[in-house]
């Protein structure tokens, strides 16, 4: 069975023959997902490895850490600028011209196209984070108008992606970081008021194209997970299992959504203790997946920025490969 079908079965709980892997680090583990980031490259110059101005008018600078940096100048810091503000052209050929040659490298893998910075992330990049938090109470109508502008761009861009590439793409990877280490930035009530219906539209557009919805969010986003599932997320990319409560979180949601996950990137992997890495991988398979599917192994992809010791990622992959025997143990105990 080829990689594309194994990934599809994991997402749709169709009993894949093994765990699928999203990793490009080693030949010792499967490499089932081909991810393409080129739709996010800015014609103005910004990309993840290149700070500068992006096409929304946000100015990025690098921090001391090796990372994509952060927005330091917000084009809508003054709401007066909104009256003359224009977003990028969503069907600009620039966003799509580099995708074709990358598709040709996919082989039989499952193809994901990323679309970073969706509703909340693009909103506070345009306006400023503190200002955005205040605006939920002081200027909610303006928030609504700006969110609609962002959403229409995303839907149009995805429509053009579908027109050009159709079923050669299999999933869309969306990012919106919603949490701190303690909880979400805003209440579920505010999320439902401003975001739920818009996410539903975005997810529906992706499903209508025949693609799966992958959704990434950092932080302790437990409170939003049931709603995200209701709204149509197929795969949740969550990278801090210890933050969510590894066992209780998994038992609450396994079988309801597919997880794209890894051994904890903030605690377990940086410590680099082999026995801990192997045990957490086993616990993730046990508590976050089912024999019918629901788990894709994920590689963060930049061990240096996380201070992960050399070789630890390979230990994690090996642990996941050998962890599915816990499904047999569950069956034998009637779980």
Indicate the range of 56-70, 118-132, 253-267 predicted with least confidence.
56-70
Task: Tell me what pLDDT residue 302 has.
Answer: 80
> What's the whole-number average pLDDT of the chain?
94
Task: Tell me what pLDDT residue 333 has.
Answer: 47
What does each C-alpha distance from 277 to 140, 315, 317, 321 come to in angstroms? 45, 7, 10, 13
Task: Tell me what pLDDT residue 65 has.
Answer: 61
**Residue among 241, 327, 325, 236 nearest 276 (CA):** 241
Q: What angle do CA 301, 211, 116 make, to 5 degrees?
A: 45
Place 160 in a pLDDT band, splitting at 50, 70 and 90.
very high
| pLDDT, average across residues 13-34 | 95
Place 305 in a pLDDT band, splitting at 50, 70 and 90.
confident
Q: Is the pLDDT of residue 67 over 80?
A: no
Q: Which domains are delineated in the chain? A: 3-43+79-332 (3.20.20.210)
Compute the distance between CA of residue 33 and CA of residue 298 in angstroms, rounded to an integer. 10
State what percent of residues in the chain have pLDDT above 70.
Answer: 96
167-212 tens-digit pLDDT: 999 999 999 999 999 999 999 999 999 999 999 999 999 999 999 9
37-53 tens-digit pLDDT: 999 999 999 999 899 99
Task: Tell me what pLDDT residue 211 has.
Answer: 98
Q: Report how far Cα 270 is from the mean position of its chain's Cα atoms.
A: 21
């Amino acid at each position: 069975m080829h990689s594309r079908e194994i990934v599809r079965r994991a997402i749709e709980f169709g009993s894949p023959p093994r765990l699928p892997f999203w990793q490009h680090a080693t030949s010792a583990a499967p490499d089932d997902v081909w991810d393409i980031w080129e739709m996010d490259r800015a014609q103005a110059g910004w990309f993840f490895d290149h700070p500068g101005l992006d096409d929304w008018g946000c100015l990025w600078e690098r921090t001391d850490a090796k990372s994509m940096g952060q927005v330091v100048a917000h084009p809508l810091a003054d709401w007066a600028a909104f009256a003359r503000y224009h977003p990028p052209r969503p069907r600009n050929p620039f966003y799509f011209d580099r995708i074709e040659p990358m598709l040709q490298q996919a082989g039989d893998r499952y193809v994901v196209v990323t679309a970073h910075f969706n509703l909340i992330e693009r909103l506070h990049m345009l306006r400023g984070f503190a200002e955005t938090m205040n605006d939920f109470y002081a200027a909610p109508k303006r928030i609504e108008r700006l969110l609609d502008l962002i959403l229409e761009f995303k839907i149009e861009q995805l429509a053009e992606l579908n027109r050009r590439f159709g079923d050669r793409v299999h999933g869309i990877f969306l990012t919106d970081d919603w949490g701190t280490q303690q909880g979400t930035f805003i209440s579920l009530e505010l999320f439902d008021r401003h975001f739920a219906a818009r996410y539903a539209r975005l997810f529906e557009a992706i499903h209508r194209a025949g693609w799966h919805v992958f959704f990434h969010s950092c932080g302790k986003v437990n409170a939003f997970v049931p709603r995200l599932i209701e709204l149509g997320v197929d795969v949740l990319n969550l990278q801090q299992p210890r933050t969510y409560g590894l066992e209780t979180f998994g038992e609450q949601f396994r079988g309801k959504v597919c997880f794209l996950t890894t051994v904890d990137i903030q605690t377990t992997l940086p410590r680099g203790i082999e026995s801990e890495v192997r045990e957490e991988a086993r616990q993730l398979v046990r508590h976050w997946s089912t024999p019918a599917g629901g788990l894709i192994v994920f590689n963060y992809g930049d061990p240096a920025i996380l201070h992960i010791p050399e070789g630890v990622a390979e230990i994690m992959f090996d642990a996941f490969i050998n962890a599915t025997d816990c499904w047999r143990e569950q069956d034998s105990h009637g779980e």
